[in-house]
């Protein structure tokens, strides 16, 4: 059996090595390190893949979120509603911009932001909702867009974990997540579903005026060389990362299928055990691209299982062990712990298993057998 890893980027690289090596050599030979033709090519391919008018590449996913919020003109004092159960980057940028983060609970079955909790949190100061398509599963965008329309709010999708997933509306239309709200942000961190070999990110929008604003912000607020119209940042995707992304983008759907296949094998194996709650999903559908395979251990043995798996050489992780509303940086007297029952429960029960595009049957069998023997 091949060595188990949370993410096996080396085996994935072996399949695309020639293309990547040749592309990187070309960048070295042409010295087009930044904003070269490779970056432009990637931008165009991603626009086409997502069916979105504008992709603005940038340096990482955290920047993408920050620049999206800057582009929308959010101001200190504006309230931004986001999920309590997510990676800290989502709330970090809200706080950095002097906006007021409003954390809300999530839904138990999808682990995504709770629509009822959003409704309760909306005030006269609310300006935006930031749904996170957590672990690769599309959030309930129909309900979120309806609420946004009703209350005149912006929707900024944190799509760092779900690039390639489709959201199916009640009317049957499929739309790539990240392109449904006013603006979407993603990350190309190596372990993400579309990962480069360093840092990278992008912002998406169908709004021409917003796209123009964003293109200036990523480049020091310049719309004309050395004319700085707004305060911007320096956030660029480099050409070597674009080479990697150009090689991987055409494979993203195949990668998604490989992830769903592994998730189904896990789900099938664990269906016999009543102490495990697996992520329900439609294998034929594509609203979940399994950035992470996160299941729940409901008999109180989660931490013991974690230690046991580590002993057996099976990598696993807890995403996320501590709710954001109790983190030192984000705790606030406004938050009442009793308002976050689901996040609190999930933090105590979740465990993430190895999930990547190269998982083999004998690896999954070993992982599932070891877990079933223990739980
Ligand atoms: C990874 C991630 C980010 C940040 O992306 P970076 O490229 O690491 O800055 C933001 N939000 C979520 C939900 C993420 O998983």
Instruction: Report pLDDT for 35.
Output: 85
Residues sharing a CB contact under 8 Å with residue 250, sequence separation 6 or more, in sequence order: 45
In a 13 Å sphere around the CA of 2, the CA atoms on its Cβ side amount to 13
256 lines ligand 1 (CB under 6 A): no
Of these residues, 38, 127, 192, 248, which one is catalytic? 192
Q: Is 161 in the pocket of ligand 1 (CB under 6 A)?
A: yes
Q: Whose CA is nearest to atom 5 of ligand 1?
A: 61
Distance between Cα 201 and ligand 1 center (Å): 9
Shortest-distance atom of ligand 1 to CA 90: 11
Three-state DSSP class for residue 203: strand
pLDDT for res 333? 87
Question: Can you give the pLDDT at residue 60?
Answer: 98
The predicted pLDDT at position 234 comes to 97
- For domain 252-374, the question of CATH label 3.40.720.10 is answered with no
For the chain, the structural domain boundaries read 9-250, 252-374
Each residue's pLDDT expressed in tens, for the chain with a length of 375 residues: 999 999 999 999 999 999 999 999 999 999 999 989 999 999 999 999 999 999 999 999 999 999 999 999 999 999 999 999 999 999 999 999 999 999 999 999 999 999 999 999 999 999 999 999 999 999 999 999 999 999 999 999 999 999 999 999 999 999 999 999 999 999 999 999 999 999 999 999 999 999 999 999 999 999 999 999 999 999 999 999 999 999 999 999 999 999 999 999 999 999 999 999 999 999 988 999 999 999 999 999 999 999 999 999 999 999 999 999 999 999 988 999 999 999 999 999 999 999 999 999 999 999 999 999 999
Between the CA of 204 and the centroid of ligand 1 the distance, in Å, is 15
Q: Is the CB of 160 under 6 A from ligand 1?
A: yes
Evaluate: CB of 126 within 6 angstroms of ligand 1. no
Q: Which atom of ligand 1 is nearest to the CA of 161?
A: 15
Is residue 175 within 8 A of residue 162, CB to CB? The reply is no
Q: Which of 267, 359, 353, 343 is nearest to 305 (CA)?
A: 353
| 158 C-beta closer than 6 A to ligand 1 | yes
What is residue 284's predicted lDDT score, i.e. its pLDDT? 87
Ligand 1 pocket check for 276: Cβ under 6 Å:
no
Is residue 76 within 8 A of residue 98, CB to CB? The reply is: yes
In the 8-state DSSP scheme, what is residue 181? S
CA of 65 to the centre of ligand 1 (A): 9
Q: What are the Cα distances from residue 325, in Å, to 28, 82, 91, 132?
A: 46, 11, 10, 16
Mark whether 264 is an active-site residue: no
- Report the pLDDT value the prediction gives residue 310, as an integer from 0 to 100: 95
Ligand 1: residue whose CA is nearest its atom 2? 160
Residue to probe by mutation, ligand 1, list 7, 66, 68, 89, most atoms within 8 Å of CB = 89
Ligand 1 within 6 A of CB of 60? yes
Phi, psi (degrees; rounded to nearest 5) at 175: -135, 140
8 Å CB contact between 67 and 158: no
Match domain 9-250 to its CATH number in 3.60.15.10, 3.40.50.970, 3.50.30.60, 3.40.640.10.
Answer: 3.40.640.10
């Amino acid at each position: 059996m091949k060595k188990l890893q949370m993410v096996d980027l080396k085996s994935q690289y072996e399949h695309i090595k020639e293309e990547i090596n040749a592309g990187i050599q070309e960048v070295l030979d042409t010295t087009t390190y930044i904003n070269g033709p490779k970056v432009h090519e990637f931008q165009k391919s991603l626009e086409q893949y997502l069916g979105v008018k504008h992709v603005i590449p940038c340096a990482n996913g955290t920047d993408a979120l920050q620049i999206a919020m800057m582009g929308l003109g959010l101001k200190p004092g504006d309230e931004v509603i986001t999920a309590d159960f997510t990676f800290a980057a989502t709330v970090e940028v809200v706080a950095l911009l002097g906006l007021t983060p409003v954390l809300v609970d999530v839904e138990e079955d999808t682990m995504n932001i709770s629509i009822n909790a959003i409704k309760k949190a909306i005030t006269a100061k609310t300006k935006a909702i930031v749904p996170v398509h957590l672990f690769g599963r599309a959030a309930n965008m129909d309900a979120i867009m309806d609420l946004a329309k009703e209350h005149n709010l912006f929707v900024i999708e944190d799509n760092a974990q779900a690039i390639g997933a489709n959201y199916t509306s009640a009317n049957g239309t499929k739309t790539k997540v990240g392109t449904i709200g006013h603006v979407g942000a993603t990350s190309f961190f190596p372990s993400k579903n579309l990962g480069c070999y360093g840092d990278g990110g992008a912002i998406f929008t169908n709004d021409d005026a917003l796209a123009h604003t964003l293109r200036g912000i990523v480049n020091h607020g310049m719309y004309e060389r050395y004319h700085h119209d707004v305060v911007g940042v320096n956030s660029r995707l480099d050409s070597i990362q674009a080479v990697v992304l150009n090689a991987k983008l055409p494979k993203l759907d195949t990668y998604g299928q490989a992830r769903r296949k592994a998730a189904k094998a896990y789900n099938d194996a664990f269906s016999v055990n009543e102490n495990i709650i697996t992520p329900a999903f439609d294998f034929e559908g594509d609203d979940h691209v399994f950035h992470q395979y996160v299941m729940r251990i409901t008999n109180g043995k989660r931490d013991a299982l974690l230690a046991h798996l580590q002993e057996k050489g099976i990598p696993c992780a807890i995403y996320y062990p501590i709710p954001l509303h109790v983190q030192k940086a984000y705790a606030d007297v406004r938050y009442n712990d009793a308002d976050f029952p689901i996040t609190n429960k999930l933090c105590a029960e979740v465990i993430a298993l190895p999930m990547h595009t190269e998982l083999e049957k004998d690896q999954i069998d070993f992982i599932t057998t070891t877990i079933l023997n223990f739980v």
